Chain A
Amino acid sequence: MSAIGDWLDHRTGYRDFLHEALYERVPGGARWRYVWGSTLAFCFFIQMITGFFLWMAYSPNAFGAWESVYYIQHEMAGGWLLRGIHHFTAQAMIVLLVLHLMQVVIDGAYRAPREFNFWIGLILMLIVLGLSLTGYLLPWDQKGYWATKVATNILGITPVIGPELQSLVIGGDDYGHQTLTRFFAIHAGLLPALLVGFLVLHIALFRRHGLTAYRVDPARDSTFWPDQVLRDAVACLAVLAVVLFLVYLPQLQGKHPGAELGPPASPADPYSAARPEWYFLFLFQFLKFFEGESEIIGAHVVPGVILFIMALMPFVGRWRLGHMFNVLFLFCILIGISILTGMALREDYDNPRYRTAKAEANRAAERIPELITARGGIPVEGAAALLEADPYIQGPKLFARDCAACHRYNGHNGLGEKVVEMQDGQEVEVAATAADLGNFGTRDWTRSVLVDYQNHFAPLKNASWNGESVGAAFLEEGQMAEWSAAHKDRLTAPANKASLDALVEFIAAQSGRGDLESINTELVAQGRKIFEAGELAEGTFDANCVDCHAIQPAGEGGLLGATGTAPILTGYGGVEWLKRFIADPATEEFYGSSTNAMPAFGQKLTAQELDILARWLARDYLPSAEKEPEVAEPAAAEAPPAEAPAAESEPEPSAG
C-alpha cells in the first residue's frame, strides 16, 4: 500500500498537496463561525452536480424547454428530487452568501492585505445572482417568462448601449428560441466557468492570507483537518437537510413535491402575478418608487452606488469608526431590503388581482398534466397550445370577459370572483341582468325553466336600457313565463312526477351532451309524447310545447311543431346549438329580433373562442379532478381606501 503511495507521491507530490490542503493552521482552534464559506462552496458543488444531470434532460427551445422540464418533473425517475435540490440549493446559497458577507464585514476580514479577496467575494456574489436570474427563465413557465422580461427590460434602459445589450442577451427583439439558447449558455457555461475561476482565486488568496481569526487563544490552535472539517461537514449536511426538507414541503401541503413548475409561457397571455425570486423582490418593490424615466435611478444608479460603497469597505474600514460605518451600512442595507421585501409581499397579499392571477395559474398548472396524460404526450407546438385550446381553462376567462357583465356562473364571473364595481371608493357587488348559467342545459335547468320560470330568469328584471327596465316584461307578460306560472302546480303535483321527469329527460336528450348522466330512453319516448300532445298522468297542458316550439327530436328526420314563435329546440343545450345561439340570439331560430336583448357575439369572438365557450358551458371537455372555483369574497374591503389604488396600480410586472 505504502509502496504504491510512494510511487504515486514520487510522480505527483500528492502528499505535500494533501498536507497543505488538510493541515492549514486554524488559529485559536476550529469554530462553527468559520463554516459559512465552506457551505457556500458545498452548495456550488451541489449545483454543479445537479445542474449537470439536469443538463442531460433539458432542451433549450421555446417549444421544448417547459416540456422537457415537465418531463423531468413528472416522468423521469428521481427528476422532481433532482430539480428540487437544484432549485432550493440556489435559494440556500443566497442566504449563505448574506451570512458569509455579514461575517466577513463584522469580523473586519476585508482589511489589508485581504482587500482583493473581498472584492473577489463581491464578484462571486454578483455571479451567483446572475446564475439565479438566468436560471429562473429556463423552465419557460409563465412566472419565469414574465418576470425575466422585466429584468431584461431593465437592462435595456442602460444608457447608450441599453437596447443593443438587451438584444444581445435575449437574442433578438423578443423572447424566443434564441433567448433560451443564450440564457442556457450563460447559465450552464459562462457563469459557472467564471464562478469556478474566481472561486479558485478566492480560496487561493484565503489560503495565502490565512483565516481571519476571532478571539485567538494560541493554546487552542489546531489544523483544518479534522476539527474544522468535521464542523464544515456537519454544517454542509445540515444545509442539505434543510434543502431536502424544502423539496419535500409541498408534499405536506398536498401538492407535487419539488420545485414549482407554473403553466407554460404564453406570450399572448400576460401573467400579472409574475414576480422575481423572493431575494429580488426588494428590487422589484424599489422600482415602484421611481416614476417615468427616473426608473434608471432605482434600477442602476442606487444599486451601483451601494455596490461601490461596499467595494470601498476595505479602505473605509482602516479606521475604527470606518469599520463601524461599514457594519452599520451593511445592516441598514439588509434592513432596507427586508422592509422592501415585506412591502412587496404585503402589497401582493392585499391585491385581489394578484391572488386571482395566482389562482388561475395554479389551476392551469394542475390542469396541464391531465391534458398531457389524456393525449399521451405534448404536441409539437408545445404545451401552451394544449392550454390555449382547453375549454376548462379558457372557458371561464372568456365568460368573465364577455358574458359576466350580464350573466353569472354559479354566482360568480366564471373565475370565482364576484362581479363588482367601484361606488364612492367602495367595491359593490353588481346585480346580474341575465340568467345564471352555472347549470345551463342540465335537467335541473330545464325543470326550473318549466316550473319556476320567473325565479329562474329573475335577474332579467335588473336589465334596463336608458333607465327603463327591459327585462321585467319577459317575466310578467312573456308567453313562457305565463305558461310556467299556469302549469307550475300541475307539473309539480306528486301524481305528475313521472310526467315531468319524462319531459325533462326528453329535452335533456336533445343536447347530445356527454356530461349529463346516462339518458333513459324509455323516459325520453314518454317525454316526446308529452312535448307533442301535452297529456300528463293527471291532466293536460293548456298549450302544448309544440304550439310554440319547433323541434327535430334527436334521431328523427322530421320537424315537430310550429316555427317562428319561440326558440327552436333542435339540439337544445348542446355545443352546436349554443354556438349558434351565442353567435346571434336574435335570429328566427332563437328569440327573433323583437324579443332579444342579448348582443350577438359571432363577430366579437373568434370561431375558436366561440367553440371553447360553448364547450365549457356544455361541459364538453376532458373532465378535471379539480374542484370548480368557489365564490371569492371581494378582498379590497379590508384595505384602507388610500392604499387600494396603489395596490391596483401595479398589477403588471412591467418595467415602466
Chain B
Amino acid sequence: MNSKTPAPKRSTTTATTSSAAPRRGFLIGFFAFIIGGIAVLLPLVPGSLVFLNPILAKKKRKADPAAGSAGELEGAFKVGRLETLPSDGTPMYVKVINDRTDAWTYLPQRPIGAVFLRRNPDDSVTAFNVICPHAGCAVDFNPSSHSFICPCHNSSFDAEGKRGETSPSARDMDKLTAVVRDGDVWVKFQNFRTGTAEQIVLS
C-alpha cells in the first residue's frame, strides 16, 4: 500500500519492455502468417484453374463440314431416307453420326446421339431426341401400346411425344427440327438439360 510511489515507476518500465516484446512478437507472427499463407495458397491457384477448366473454358466450336449451312438446314445432319420410315407412323430409332471431340481425342464419324423419326401422313417427319427429359435415360418405343416408355423411371409419352398423366417427366419429349429435302431426312440435333419443365439447350 505504502509503496505506491515506486510501483508505477516499476510498472512503467515493465510496461515498456513487455509491450515492446509482444508488439514485436505480434508483427513477426503477422508476417509469418501472411508470408506462409501466400506460400501455401499460391500452388492452389493453378490447380484450381485446372479443376475449374470445364466451367472456365468456353467450348471452341468449329463450323461443321457435315452439317447443312444455310436456311432451315443450318446445323442439321442427314440421318436417313424418308422411304425407309414406316408409313403407319411407327417411330424409328436412328443414330446421328458426326465428328466428335472428347477432350484431346478427335473421333471422326461416331454416333453422337440418336433420334426417333416418325413419318407423318403428309410425308413430313417428326423427330424426337431419344433422351428422356426426366433423368436422361434412353426412351424405348412400345409398339403394342403405341407409346414411348422410359425403362428407368417409367416416364411415358404418347406417339406424339406428349407426356402421360402419371409420367414423372416434367415436360414432353424433346422435339427436334426435321426437314425432308430430296428424300433425305435432316435433323437439327440438340441435347437438352433434363429434369426441367422448360426446354434448355445444352451447348
Contact = CB atoms under 8 A, between A and B. Distances in A.
Contact of B43 (A85, A230, A233, A378): A85
A495 interface: no
Given A57-B50, A76-B53, A78-B50, A226 B28 contact: yes
A56 B107 contact: no
Interface in B101-122: 101, 103-107
Contacts of B32: 225-226, 229-230, 232-233
A463 to B, nearest CB: 47
B50 A53 contact: yes
A78 B104 CA distance: 16
Given A375-B106, A380-B105, A236 B49 contact: no
B201 interface: no
Interface of B is mostly: helix
A77 B105 contact: no
Contact of A376 (B25, B28, B62, B103): B62
B104 A378 contact: yes
A70 interface: yes
Contacts of A78: 45-50, 53
B105 A81 contact: no
Contacts of A56: 50-51
B1 interface: no
Interface in A487-516: none
Given A49-B43, A77-B57, A82 B105 contact: no
Interface stretch (B33-41, B81-89, B160-168): B33-41
Interface in A222-270: 225-227, 229-230, 232-234, 236-237, 240
A227 B28 contact: yes
A77 B106 contact: no
A116 interface: no
Contacts of A377: 101, 104-107
Nearest to A379: B106
B39 A81 contact: no
B47 A82 contact: yes
A82 B47 CA distance: 6
B200 interface: no
B42 interface: yes
B44 interface: yes
Contacts of B107: 377, 380
Interface in B16-32: 25, 28-29, 31-32
Contacts of A49: 43-44, 47
Contact of B56 (A77, A82, A379): A77
Nearest to A380: B105
A67 B105 contact: yes
State which size class the interface on A falls in: 35 or more
A233 B106 contact: no
Contacts of B50: 53-54, 56-57, 72, 76-79, 82
B104 A50 contact: no
A76 B31 contact: no
B202 interface: no
A76 B57 contact: yes
B36 A71 contact: no
B104 A77 contact: no
B70 interface: no
A240 B25 contact: no
A45 interface: yes
Contacts of A81: 45-46, 49
Given A42-B39, A233-B39, A75 B104 contact: yes
B52 interface: yes
B37 to A, nearest CB: 8
Interface string A46-68: 10011011101100000010011
Interface of A is mostly: helix
Contact of B104 (A53, A68, A226): A68
A647 B56 CA distance: 50
B104 A70 contact: yes
Contacts of A379: 105-106
Nearest to B44: A49
B161 to A, nearest CB: 34
Nearest to B36: A233
Contact of A237 (B35, B48, B101, B105): B35
Interface string B86-106: 000000000000010101111
A378 B53 contact: no
A234 B52 contact: no
A246 to B, nearest CB: 14
A111 B155 CA distance: 75
Contacts of B62: 376
Contacts of B31: 230, 233
Contacts of A233: 31-32, 35-36, 39
B140 to A, nearest CB: 31
A72 B46 CA distance: 11
Contacts of A79: 46, 49-50, 53
B36 A378 contact: no
Given A53-B47, A85-B43, A232 B106 contact: no
Nearest to A56: B51
A95 to B, nearest CB: 17
Nearest to B101: A377
B57 A230 contact: no
Interface in A334-374: 372
A56 B38 CA distance: 24
Nearest to A52: B47
A375 to B, nearest CB: 6
A240 B43 contact: yes
Given A229-B36, A376-B106, A50 B43 contact: yes
11 contacts: A45-B43, A46-B43, A76-B53, A77-B52, A78-B48, A229-B32, A233-B35, A236-B36, A237-B38, A376-B62, A377-B107
Interface of A: 42, 45-46, 49-50, 52-54, 56-57, 64, 67-68, 70-72, 75-79, 81-82, 85, 225-227, 229-230, 232-234, 236-237, 240, 372, 375-380
Interface pairs A-B: 8 shortest CB-CB: A377-B106, A78-B49, A53-B47, A233-B36, A226-B29, A230-B32, A82-B46, A81-B46
Given A52-B47, A233-B35, A237-B38, 12 more contacts: A45-B40, A50-B46, A67-B105, A78-B47, A79-B53, A81-B46, A230-B29, A230-B31, A232-B32, A233-B39, A237-B39, A377-B106
